[in-house]
Amino acid sequence: MVSQTPLLISEPIATSRLRKIFECVDAMSCPHRLNFHLHTVHSDGKMQPADLIQQAIDLCLSDVAITDHHAISGYKIARQYLDRVTHQSQAPESLPTLWTGIEINASLIFTEVHILGYSFNPVHEAMQPYLQNKTTAGLDYQAISVIKAIHLAGGLAVLAHPARYRRSPEDLIPAAAALGIDGVETYYGYDNSEPWKPSPKQTEEIRQLAEIYGLMHTCGTDSHGFKISKRL
């Protein structure tokens, strides 16, 4: 699979392709094939972007996203590194696709949640308030504004780790669905197990809610350490 680059693939085509990937995500998708929740030193992670991508290459992942908090500087460095590797590779189709990604703090029914954005145009004006390395305030901080901005920039919006908040998934997922969110991070390791695996109880609860409200499923390790295959 050729690496996804905004300059080479139009936003509608790229997002349509990502939507098809999300529609096929299951409990076995992460972390050995996909990983859509990764952090670098450009927010609160420990890995350099190039090292993260090299791990993804070594692990033969097909699709990854760096989702630093309110920043895409790590994505840009990783993009440059992957492009160099791609140009030098004799088998570029074996390299992972790197998608634009971000994690944004937002208020949803008076609860702070995190919203993941994917496959958006990083230079679109709607995204600029969320790329300043800090949490927004006022109207920009509202979940409806975050979701709208991601959509205006051609991307998909996902509710991150729905069972980690003050309010329950039963409250948050319907509220997010009503605002037009595209998916939920269904497969997530809440207990930081070794090896990483989705937490069964929370996964089943969230999977059922996502199905009820017609939302796609995503997965990711939420890596903040030196291995993308685990959270810490």
Residue 66's nearest CA partner among 86, 88, 89, 41 is 41
Per-residue model confidence (pLDDT) at position 9? 43
Other residues' Cβ atoms within 10 Å of the Cβ of residue 8: 10
Per-residue model confidence (pLDDT) at position 12? 74
Q: Report whether 4 contacts 99 (CB < 8 A).
A: yes
Instruction: Encode burial over 59-84: b for 16+ CB neighbours within 10 A, e otherwise.
Output: bebbbbbbbbbbbbbbbebbbebbee
Predicted TM-score (pTM) of this structure:
0.94
- Distance from C-alpha of 30 to C-alpha of 52, rounded to nearest angstrom: 16
The full set of domain ranges for the chain reads 11-219
Q: Is 112 helix (H, G, I), strand (E, B) or coil?
A: strand
Residues of the chain with pLDDT under 70: 1-11
Per-residue model confidence (pLDDT) at position 205? 98
Q: Report whether 65 contacts 34 (CB < 8 A).
A: no
Pairing between β-strand 101-108 and β-strand 111-118 as defined by DSSP bridges = antiparallel
CATH of domain 11-219: 3.20.20.140
